[in-house]
Amino acid sequence: MQKSDGMNYAPKGKPNIVVQKGEFVFAAIALDHGHIYGMCNGLLEAGAELKWVYDQDPAKVAAFIAKYPQAKAASSEQEIFDDAEVKLIAAAAVPSERGALGIRAMENGKDYFTDKTPFTSLDQLAAAKAKVEETGRKYAVYFSERLHVESAVFAGQLIEEGAIGRVVQVIGLGPHRLGAAGRPDWFFKKDKYGGILCDIGSHQIEQFLHYAGCKDATVVSSKVANYHAKDYPELEDFGDATLVGDNGATNYFRVDWLTPSGLGTWGDGRTLILGTEGYIELRKYIDIARDPQGDQLYLVNQQGEKHYSLHGQVGFPFFGQLILDCINRTENAMTQAHTFKAAELCLLAQEKAIRVE
């Protein structure tokens, strides 16, 4: 697991097997973002079987098979689509191409699991909604900053148990290290990555909807800037937004590509959740100058103060739930409505953002 490089950060957890060998087969298509490794890790730890891999770049395929030797290199997407054993396509394509790949997967009878952000335009979202309605297939999204972070999972469990009462505000901080020299060309092209609020902002909006229990929200304001990466004029290295949920909860988040090289990990991601009876702070990836281990959760409520160190303690239930949802046609991992609403709101935040310098 590469802690210095967010693009190739691929968490591993303890196995939580929900299916028997051969009961749930998946394939990986499009290896443009390193998150595909985290996605595959999660599915494998839940008992899924990885059968195929396809990408147009043979070097990416070779690196993937070195990591997962059970995967066979397919000659084309269609070879995978034609395999009736394959139930789910896991993919981390260039963001602007994720929607179209999902359409093709669903048209071929497969459920689809894509890296965030799932879309770069509202037209892509509308097309995916229509295809889900037409086919009954799933369009699932890897919102890793909640789903693949044990402190974030535990925070949701505490909220469900009523530990802080009604959630009234979520503040999300999502700093990332740029590492420009190791980034592909598409990363710096606005029409490919969609903008910072669309891209890494999607994590923050999904977390807000989940923790605050919102079905919908309004983007009150949003801003983007390129403060420091002047060599890459289409890159936005800063963005923030304010939202109000349909239940009155509020959200402020900030995302950026300004993490300094002196930090011991790729980003000091934090979430602060305020409730009527207490509050939670997550220090997801590091507790700076105190503990290099992430997954630190601080809880304050009417009973007192509590610190939880959660690395290796909670696991990642989303992946097993997703597998069982695909088998049983249920929605326990994440509802389709929630997935699409998070996608819609990040696109709207990006669309209405003012540019500052």
- DSSP codes joined into one string, 261-297: TTSSSS---EEEEEETTEEEEEE-S-BTTTBS---EE
Please report which confidence band the pLDDT of residue 12 belongs to, taking 50, 70 and 90 as the band edges.
Answer: confident
Please report which confidence band the pLDDT of residue 15 belongs to, taking 50, 70 and 90 as the band edges.
Answer: confident
Cβ atoms of 146 and 207 within 8 Å: the answer is yes
Average pLDDT over residues 1-21: 73
Is residue 6's pLDDT more than 80? no
Tell me what pLDDT residue 308 has: 97
pLDDT (tens digit per residue) in 209-247: 999 999 999 999 999 999 999 999 999 999 999 999 999
- How remote is the C-alpha of 45 from its chain's centroid? 18
Average pLDDT over residues 333-343: 98
Give the number of other CB atoms < 10 A from CB of residue 63. 14
Tell me what pLDDT residue 8 has: 72
Average pLDDT over residues 173-184: 97
The share of the chain scoring above pLDDT 90, in percent, equals: 95
Cβ atoms of 343 and 118 within 8 Å: the answer is yes
Average pLDDT over residues 101-115: 98
Tell me what pLDDT residue 128 has: 98
Taking 3-state DSSP, the helix, strand and coil percentages for the chain, each rounded to the nearest 5, stand at: 35, 25, 40
Is residue 298's pLDDT more than 80? yes
Is residue 14's pLDDT more than 90? no
Residue type, 141: V
pLDDT (tens digit per residue) in 262-282: 999 999 999 999 999 999 999
Please report which confidence band the pLDDT of residue 349 belongs to, taking 50, 70 and 90 as the band edges.
Answer: very high
pLDDT (tens digit per residue) in 148-162: 999 999 999 999 999
Residue type, 291: D
Cα first-last separation, the chain: 35
Is residue 2's pLDDT more than 60? no
CA neighbor of 27 nearest in space, from 11, 40, 15, 10 = 40
Average pLDDT over residues 109-118: 98
CA neighbor of 88 nearest in space, from 129, 20, 18, 139 = 139
Integer Cα distance of 105 and 27 in angstroms: 11
Question: Which ranges in the chain belong to alpha helices (H)?
Answer: 35-45, 58-67, 77-81, 95-107, 122-135, 144-147, 150-160, 190-193, 201-212, 317-328, 336-352
Integer Cα distance of 1 and 8 in angstroms: 8
Tell me what pLDDT residue 258 has: 98
Tell me what pLDDT residue 4 has: 56
Average pLDDT over residues 189-216: 98
Is residue 1's pLDDT more than 60? no
Q: What is the pTM of this model?
A: 0.96
Tell me what pLDDT residue 3 has: 61
CA neighbor of 159 nearest in space, from 280, 321, 310 = 280
CA neighbor of 6 nearest in space, from 29, 33, 32 = 33
Please report, to the nearest 10 degrees, the dihedral formed by the alpha carbons of residues 331, 337, 340, 345 taken in order. -130
Give the number of other CB atoms < 10 A from CB of residue 280. 27
Cβ atoms of 198 and 217 within 8 Å: the answer is no
